[in-house]
Amino acid sequence: MGVPAAPRIDDRLRRYIAGARPSDSAAEVTRGAGSLAWSLGLPRPSYQQVRVLMRAGAAPPPGPTPSSPSTARLVLRAIDEVVGFLYQYPAPGMADWYRRYTRGLL
């Protein structure tokens, strides 16, 4: 029967894991954290716990997200729609009619 929950990781072990270089593998950090835990008399953190803590420390803080599109984007989108309409074949607004005409549906 498995353990329903893993033991809490001590703050000293968390600082050790967070201070690992980005080039270190999770296995190396787990071995180092395990030997530190042994010397402190603490339970050894699991490989999965170390991976999660390493990934959480490596994630960049979320930046600001734009709440609405800028005016320039709105203008460019409108220009794109107008130009797309004007360049329809055979004439502006006639694309649907032309498709029906070529299929013999008129």
Tokens of 35: 């030997």
**Tens digit of pLDDT for each residue in 11-57?**
999 999 988 888 889 999 999 999 999 999 999 999 999 999 888 87
Check whether 84 has a pLDDT greater than 60.
Answer: yes
Distance set, CA 68 to CA 34, 64, 104 (Å): 48, 12, 45
Residue-level pLDDT at 93: 77
* pTM score, whole prediction: 0.50
Kindly report the CA angle at 23 between 18 and 28, in degrees rounded to 5?
A: 70
